[in-house]
């Protein structure tokens, strides 16, 4: 991915530790949903990496 200095930088939808006092219940619920979806994405990435690691370990064990 290349950096384009003319492209505006997108502000994150949620920043961990940010002030929540001015957000409505609806905005908080949207952020919860966003974070839950991100947790699922992170878990899927972990599972994928774990599967790759197990496959590599299996391959090396079989070649010994």
What's the distance, CA 34 to chain centroid? 10
Q: How far apart are CA 41 and CA 60, in angstroms?
A: 29
Q: Where are the alpha helices (DSSP H) in the chain?
A: 25-62
Q: Which two tokens stand for residue 22?
A: 């001015």
pTM (2 d.p.): 0.68
Check whether 11 has a pLDDT greater than 70: yes
64 band by pLDDT with thresholds 50, 70 and 90: low
Q: Within 10 Å of residue 31's Cβ, how many Cβ atoms?
A: 15
pLDDT the model gives residue 63: 66
């Amino acid at each position: 991915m290349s950096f384009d200095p003319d492209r505006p930088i997108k502000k994150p939808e949620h920043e961990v530790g940010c002030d929540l006092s001015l957000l409505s219940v609806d905005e908080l619920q949207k952020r919860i949903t966003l974070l839950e979806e991100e947790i699922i994405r992170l878990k899927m990435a972990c599972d994928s990496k774990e599967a790759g690691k197990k496959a590599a370990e299996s391959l090396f064990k079989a070649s010994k």
